[in-house]
């Protein structure tokens, strides 16, 4: 498929895609959108950065706009990702649309969520913990939600949410369309899909496609005390939007203030921001009111801004897998981009781990369905999976949902 117009989408959806500068579908979008529009279940093997968010939102919004009797529930493992999906959904439906969207995640006002749910929204985006809270309070009726999406399913299972997900599915109608997206396909995901998906269409994106050929990578070997001056040089030498990654919330604000002092207009995105402030920053960045955004890994999870031309790893991530998520923020929807990584002597060990992961992705295993070691979302807290059924489950529930 050469462009989105060939899908015969609704006029409003085509207008929104044009505004987002989405010209032609990514590989995962071309493999899923026409299938989903035809109401088939889908098991998709796709990573962050592949364009998977639009891959399920576009057919959902199209069905709501053209059929009417369609409502969608989208489950994500974290509230940060849920927020990003919600942001993209709102842009796709258009600001004058009558399609109500509810964001149901932990850490947000229950009263506000109750007001959203009373409007009987057509699209609900949420996390397992808070969705279950509303089901227990009987403030949420899922009996008419006939379009169901599990996003980052492998990560959701790693975080101990399997029981909560299955509890939610019991409240959904038996006659529904289900789309499951997962970066890897271990046997647990295959088992889950065989239980809840009906004759699913398999949509596989090559594992190394996230290491896109359109991304030019540059490594800057430096010292800690020289990083800032070299950052200014990199910014000065580049045109277009830039996303800068740092390790901590404190670092985002510190770097922003320093850049502004040097007359470099920028903004910071981190977990301590109020939701309305965060939304305003993202909206201004999408509208290109400023070109430099400084963010942490968690705050940027799911960030989908097509015009990001450069990603700068001012600080390396704490786990190698997050490097893939970071550079996946550029070269969106077939565009080109560049990733710049600052490496100090203290970063040598982490950089070697990142290089090892990159090499692995360039030469992936032929079949990852039953390869339990091939889990690109493994994180420090997911290594001891047995803990998720006891103490850690409570920890995940309070920290992430």
Please give the residue that has the higher pLDDT: either 282 or 218. 218
Residue 350 has pLDDT above 60, yes or no: yes
CATH number for position 220: 3.40.50.300
Query: Using CA atoms, how far apart are residues 330 and 335, in angstroms rounded to an integer?
Result: 8
Answer yes or no: are the C-beta atoms of 92 and 11 closer than 8 Å: no
Q: Are 48 and 195 within one domain? A: yes
Asked whether residue 379 is assigned to any structural domain, the reply reads no
Asked whether residue 161 is assigned to any structural domain, the reply reads yes
Q: Are 156 and 196 within one domain? A: yes
Q: Are 169 and 257 within one domain? A: no
Q: Are 233 and 324 within one domain? A: yes
Query: Using CA atoms, how far apart are residues 372 and 15, in angstroms rounded to an integer?
Result: 42
| pLDDT confidence bin for 315, thresholds 50/70/90 | very high
When divided into structural domains, the chain yields a total of 2
What mean pLDDT do residues 269-295 have? Answer: 86
| pLDDT confidence bin for 280, thresholds 50/70/90 | confident
Q: Are 229 and 163 within one domain? A: no
Determine the structural domain holding residue 257 and report its residue range: 211-360
Q: Are 79 and 128 within one domain? A: yes
Query: Using CA atoms, how far apart are residues 317 and 379, in angstroms rounded to an integer?
Result: 12
Q: Tokens 């040097």 identify what position?
A: 262
Highest mean pLDDT, choosing among 41-50, 95-104, 146-155: 146-155
Asked whether residue 148 is assigned to any structural domain, the reply reads yes
Among 42-51, 135-144, 346-355, whose mean pLDDT is lowest?
42-51
Domain termination site, one of 186, 206, 226:
206
Domain termination site, one of 206, 225, 249:
206
What mean pLDDT do residues 285-291 have? Answer: 92
Q: Are 352 and 219 within one domain? A: yes
Domain termination site, one of 185, 206, 227:
206
- The pLDDT of residue 221: 97
């Amino acid at each position: 498929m050469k462009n989105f117009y060939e899908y015969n989408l609704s006029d409003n959806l085509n207008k929104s895609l044009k505004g987002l500068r989405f010209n032609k579908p990514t590989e995962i979008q071309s493999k899923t959108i026409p299938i989903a529009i035809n109401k088939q279940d889908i098991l998709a093997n796709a990573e962050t950065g592949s364009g998977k968010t639009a891959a399920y939102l576009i057919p959902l919004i199209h069905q709501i706009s053209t059929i009417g009797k369609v409502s969608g529930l989208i489950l994500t493992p974290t509230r940060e990702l849920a927020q990003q999906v919600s942001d993209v959904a709102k842009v796709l439906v258009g600001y004058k649309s009558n399609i109500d969207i509810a964001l149901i995640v932990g850490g947000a006002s229950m009263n506000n969520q109750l007001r959203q749910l009373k409007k009987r929204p057509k699209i609900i985006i949420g996390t397992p913990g808070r969705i279950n809270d509303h089901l227990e309070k009987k403030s949420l009726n899922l009996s008419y939600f006939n379009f169901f999406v599990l996003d980052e399913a492998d990560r959701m299972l790693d975080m101990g949410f399997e029981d909560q997900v299955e509890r939610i599915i019991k409240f959904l109608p038996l006659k529904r369309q289900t789309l499951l997206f997962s970066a890897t396909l271990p046997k647990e995901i295959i088992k889950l899909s065989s239980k809840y998906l009906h004759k699913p269409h398999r949509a596989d994106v090559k594992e190394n496609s996230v290491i896109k050929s359109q991304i030019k990578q540059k490594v800057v070997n430096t010292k800690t005390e020289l990083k800032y001056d070299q950052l200014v040089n990199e910014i000065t030498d580049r045109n277009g939007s830039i996303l800068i990654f740092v390790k901590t919330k404190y670092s985002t604000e510190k770097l922003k203030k320093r850049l502004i002092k040097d007359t470099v207009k920028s903004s910071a995105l981190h977990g301590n921001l109020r939701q309305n402030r965060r939304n305003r920053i993202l909206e201004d960045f999408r509208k290109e009111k400023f070109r430099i955004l400084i963010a942490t890994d968690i705050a940027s999870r799911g960030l989908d801004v097509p015009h990001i031309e450069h990603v700068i790893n001012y600080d390396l991530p704490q786990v190698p897998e997050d490097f893939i998520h970071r550079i996946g923020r550029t070269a969106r929807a077939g565009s080109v981009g560049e990733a710049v990584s600052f490496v100090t002597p203290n970063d040598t060990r982490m950089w070697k781990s990142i290089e090892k992961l990159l090499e692995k992705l360039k030469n992936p295993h032929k079949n990852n369905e039953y390869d339990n070691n091939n889990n690109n979302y493994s994180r420090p807290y997911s290594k001891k999976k047995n803990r998720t059924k006891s103490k850690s489950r409570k920890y995940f529930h309070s920290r992430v949902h």
